[in-house]
Chain A
Amino acid sequence: MNESQEPLLAARIDRELRALPVLPAPKTLAPRVLAALAARQQAPWWRQSWAGWPPGIRMAFLAVSLGVAGLLVIVGLQLPTLGLATGALQTVAGWFAWIQAYVDPVWRIMEALWIGLKAAPPLLLWSVTAFIGLAYAMCVGLGTLGYRVAVNRI
C-alpha cells in the first residue's frame, strides 16, 4: 500500500470499526458485581475504605491523628532545648551499629577496586567494558531467541 492510500485506509477502517455493535457483557458480570458489593458491605467497618467508616469513628480518627501529629511537632521542636537530642541520636545509632560490620569490608573492597582501576591501562579498561557490553547484548539476543522459540515464532 502506498502513502496516498493511508488516509483512505484510515477512513475506511474508522467506518468499519464504528459500525461494530457493542459486545454483550457476560451474564456473570452483574451477579459478580452484586456479590462483590454484598461482600464489601458485610465487611467490618475497619476493613472498608475510610469513606465507609461510621461518622463518629471518622471524627475520632481525625482528632487522634491531628493530636499525634501535633504532639510529634511539639516534641520535635522541644527536643534540642531539652538536651535530649544527642542522647536520642546516640541511642538510635546504637540500634544500627551492627550494619557497620558489613559496611567496612564492602568499603575496603570498593577502595581496592578503585585503586586497581586507576592503575589499570586504558586498553584493558576498554576491553573489559566492551566485553560486558557484548555479554549484555548476547543476553538480549538469547532472551529474544528464547521468546520466539517459546511462542513458536521462529
Chain B
Amino acid sequence: MSEEHNFEAFMAAYQDMVFSTAMRLLGNSAEAEDISQEVFLKAYDRFAELSQSKTAGGWLKTVARNLCLNHLSRYRARWTFFSDLKREDDESDREFDIPAEDTQSEEAELADKRQLLELTLQKLPPAQRVPLVLYHFEDLSYEEIAARLKLSLAKVKTDIHRGREALRKKLKIDLEGELSGAVGMLPPPAGRHTKS
C-alpha cells in the first residue's frame, strides 16, 4: 500500500476526533474544518513517526487544541472584554434552534438530548465554551486553563460555572434529587489530576 493510501486510512481513523475537538472549541464548522485540515497537513510532515506511534491520537488532539487556541487568541481580547459586560442571564434568554422534544422512543430522545447539548455548547459565548471544553473534554485543570488562556483563576472558574449553568438551564437538569441521593461526596470527574 502506498504512503498516500496509508495516510488516507490514517485520516479516516482520526478525522472525526480531530474535527470534534476543533468544532467544540471553535463552535464553528467552517473554522473547525480549516483547523482540521491544518492538523492533518502537519501530521503528514511527521507521518513516518506518527504511523508507527501508539500516541498518534494524542498528538493530533494536542495539535488540534493548540491550533484552535492560537486561532481564538487572535480574537480573544475582543470576546474576553465583551464577555465581562454581558448579563449573566444572557445565555438562558437566547432562543436556540433546537429540535422538538416530542419523540416517543428512548433512543430518539437520547439523540435529541445529545443534539441539544451539542448545540447549546456550540452556542455558548467563546469566553465560556473554551474553558468549559478544555476542562471537561481536554482534562485540563482550572490552573492549566488559566495559564493557557492567560486569564485569572477566578475568571476561569466564573466562566466555567456560567457555562455549566447555561447547559443546566437548557437541559433542564434538576439537581435537587441528586443532592439528596449523593450524601455530599461525589468522585471527581475522571481523568484529571489537580482540581480546585
Contacts and interface: CB of A to CB of B under 8 A. Distances in A.
Instruction: Identify whether the interface residues of A are mostly helix, strand, loop, or mixed.
Output: helix
Interface of B: 4, 7-8, 11-12, 15-20, 23-24, 29, 33, 36-37, 40-41, 44-45, 82, 85-86, 90, 114, 117-118, 121, 136-137, 161, 164-165, 167-168, 171, 173, 175, 178-179, 182, 186-190
Interface of A: 1, 4-14, 16-26, 28-30, 32-34, 36-37, 40, 49, 51, 144, 147, 153
Contacts of B179: 4-5, 8
Contact of A32 (B23, B37, B44, B90): B37
Given A19-B114, A20-B118, A25 B15 contact: yes
Given A26-B19, A29-B36, A32-B33, 12 more contacts: A5-B179, A13-B136, A16-B117, A17-B137, A23-B24, A24-B16, A29-B11, A29-B40, A33-B40, A144-B82, A153-B86, A153-B90
Listed residue (A6, A21, A26) with the most chain B CB atoms within 10 angstroms of its CB:
A26
Contacts, number: 107
A23 B118 contact: yes
Most B CB within 10 A of own CB, among A16, A25, A37, A144:
A25
A11 B137 contact: no
Nearest to B136: A17
Contact of B29 (A1, A17, A26, A40): A26
Nearest to B184: A4
